[in-house]
Amino acid sequence: MAQMWITMGPQHPMTHGLWTLRVKVDGETVVDTEAELGYIHRGVEKICEARDFTQVTPYCDRLCYVSAMTWANSYIYAAEDLLEADVPERAEYIRLISAELQRLASHLMWLGAFGPDIGNLTLMTWCMRDREMFLDLLQELGGSRMHYNYPRIGGVKRDMPIGFADRVVAKTKLFEKRLDEYEMMLDESTIWLVRLQGVGYANAQDMVEAGVSGPNVRAAGVNYDVRWAHPYSVYDEVDWEPAVEKPTSVKGADCYDRYRVRMEEMRQSCRMVLDALDKIPGGRNTNYANGDAMILTKAPTRAPEGATGFSNYECTRGHSQFYIQGGGDGRGKNPYRVSIRSPMFITIPYVAKTMIGYKIADIPAIMGSFDPCIGETDR
């Protein structure tokens, strides 16, 4: 049979955003693929050069609209490396809690979008319902539902409101039960298993060579995680362990493993948040005033001459990294160059190649299981 190219996207439910997957098919079988990105390139790196270090934060929120808090944190750690800012212990705990709540919300968004890919529409409504709990919590911190602009260089914008900790505990404990419900619905569904198991194999070393990171690699059986390997925040003080799966084939993790590892990661996030609330210095039901030394240390606004800042952060989809070259006195208080490493920018072209050999109908399952987000990909 003749081979032909099919264009999936930019308007296609499989893409989870705006990008194009060009697929060369031989009958039903995928024989070659090509990813085309850049549809929503906003030039964030260039814009940052005309902003001072604090003004860059909201742009980093908008890199990924599903996971704003982790991206803003990632930038903040790089800026703190550059500006040599100290951070109070309490602020680090609050950042950890906010990042893990964001991870829950982001993974729920992923699961909610992944369900309809596979044909399970109920999942979408369940996940949106539960994600709302965590968006409400994040809104209490940052003041908005999606783009929080919450972390500051040297701390956080404001302390946890009174009662926030109790609401976190209540919602997290409720959500832990809900996770069991999800698993009852999904792991016993034949359609779910048939669509995911044995599809989209990717093994650990290949993925790392290709630059894939985060839960996708942990699904292939290695518990490598930036949060213990290059610890940043207070992840070494709270109780958790990296989620890891046991892939069932020498070919590596399939879509089912990648789904399982994210479910486990949500459990670990709940565990981390609950433990961090118990250990937070200053107490969980205290509210320090804005700018108090417990939550914010005044940071220099100008970078030392020739300094660079780098952060390596476990974002919800893999390693998000920032590399900043500082201005120094001669160049003012704006960064000279901000470089952003987005995990999905590297992962999407890799995933496109892993689809070769599978059927067209497997493409949404494979793509969805890697959790694509185009906001961060195109920057």
Least distance (Å) between residue 167 CB and another protein: 26
Please give the backbone phi and psi of residue 346, each rounded to the nearest 5 degrees, phi first.
-85, -35
Please give the backbone phi and psi of residue 298, each rounded to the nearest 5 degrees, phi first.
-65, 130
Least distance (Å) between residue 335 CB and another protein: 11
Q: How far apart are CA 368 and CA 169, in angstroms?
A: 30
Return the H-helix or E-strand segment holding 64: none
Q: Which of 14, 18, 47, 128 binds another protein (CB under 8 A)?
A: 47
Q: Which of 26, 28, 31, 46 binds another protein (CB under 8 A)?
A: 46
* Strand ranges inside 3-154, DSSP E: 3-8, 20-26, 29-36, 151-152
Position 323 contacts another protein (CB under 8 A): yes
Position 74 contacts another protein (CB under 8 A): no
Closest CB to another protein among residues 37, 138: 37
Position 246 contacts another protein (CB under 8 A): yes
Beta bridge partners of 130: none
Position 181 contacts another protein (CB under 8 A): no
Position 132 contacts another protein (CB under 8 A): no
Q: How far apart are CA 24 and CA 27, in angstroms?
A: 10
Q: Which residue has the tokens 């709302």?
A: 132
| Angle, alpha carbons 29-34-35 (nearest 5°) | 125
Beta bridge partners of 197: none
Q: Which of 9, 112, 200, 242 binds another protein (CB under 8 A)?
A: 242
Least distance (Å) between residue 227 CB and another protein: 8
Q: Which residue has the tokens 């669509």?
A: 195
Helix (H, G, I), strand (E, B) or coil at 39: coil
Closest CB to another protein among residues 124, 323: 323
Q: How many CB atoms lie within 10 A of CB 170?
A: 11
Q: How far apart are CA 222 and CA 205, in angstroms?
A: 10
Position 84 contacts another protein (CB under 8 A): yes
x-or-dash pattern for another protein, window 144-163, by CB under 8 A? --------------------
Closest CB to another protein among residues 231, 281: 231
Q: Which of 65, 124, 224, 297 binds another protein (CB under 8 A)?
A: 224
Closest CB to another protein among residues 15, 120: 15
Find the binding residues for another protein in span 191-220 (CB under 8 A). Answer: 203-205, 208-213, 217, 220
259 closest CA partner among 102, 141, 371, 96: 371
Position 239 contacts another protein (CB under 8 A): yes
Contact 199, 365 (CB under 8 A): yes
Stretches 6-14, 141-149, 280-288, 345-353: which one binds another protein (CB under 8 A)?
A: 345-353
Stretches 23-31, 171-179, 240-248, 357-365: which one binds another protein (CB under 8 A)?
A: 240-248
Least distance (Å) between residue 28 CB and another protein: 27
Find the binding residues for another protein in span 262-321 (CB under 8 A). Answer: 308-312, 319, 321
Q: How far apart are CA 276 and CA 280, in angstroms?
A: 6
